Amino acid sequence: MKQLSDLDTGYLLGLLVGEGHFGGDGRQPQVTLRMHTRHEGLFRWLERTVAGSVLYGPYHHGGRSYLQWMARGRALREIVVPLVARHRALLDEHTLERFLAMCSAYRIPLEAEEDGAVVGDVGGDRGAEAEALAQDPEDEPQDEDVEVRRRGQPVTRVLEVEAGPQE
């Protein structure tokens, strides 16, 4: 994978925090972004930036037109998860919980990068220490949203990540 600039890294993390869904279909983990078709340029950037990710759509349903981007398999395990894990000190609590729940449910190891640096780490303290995954059964991911996929694909469970303050 090519090294992302700090700007690209921040942009990708912002998209994942604001619009991302960390979850899976019961067999494999996935990170999904779904937005209006007017954001096609952004989705094309995601395809170029995260090698192996896939763009689906456009879909037209209920008066809405949208595209859906997914990172699964190697794209998820070798690009997205290490990137998010490396910068998890920047994530809000809700997003971090969703990310860790996905990693726990699908047994994705969170290995530290060699340099351990975090974007914006101008002080040189090399970022926050890694946190251990929760082992409490109450911390298991909950099904919050069910998405029916088109073209004969199976029903997929998606964990929603909401932007904005928590209640």
Return the pLDDT at 159. Answer: 46
The gap from C-alpha 20 to its chain's centroid, in whole angstroms, comes to 5
Structure tokens at 135: 């082992």
Query: Cβ of 75: how many Cβ atoms within 10 Å?
Result: 19
Return the pLDDT at 137. Answer: 46
Q: Which CA distances in Å does 109 have to 5, 133, 135? A: 24, 10, 14
Of residues 156 and 25, more confidence is placed in 25
The answer to whether 24 and 8 are in contact (CB under 8 A) is: no
Q: How far, in Å, CA of 167 to CA of 159, rounded?
A: 18
User: Sorting pLDDT into bands at 50, 70 and 90, what band is 109?
Assistant: very high
Which helix (H) or strand (E) segment holds residue 24: the answer is: strand 20-24
Domains and CATH numbers, the chain: 6-110+130-158 (3.10.28.10)
The model's pLDDT over 10-27, given as tens digits with 9 standing for 90+, comes to 999 999 999 999 999 999
Structure tokens at 127: 């970022």
Q: How far, in Å, CA of 155 to CA of 144, rounded?
A: 14
Map residue 156 onto helix, strand or coil.
Answer: strand
Whole-number CA gyration radius for the chain: 16
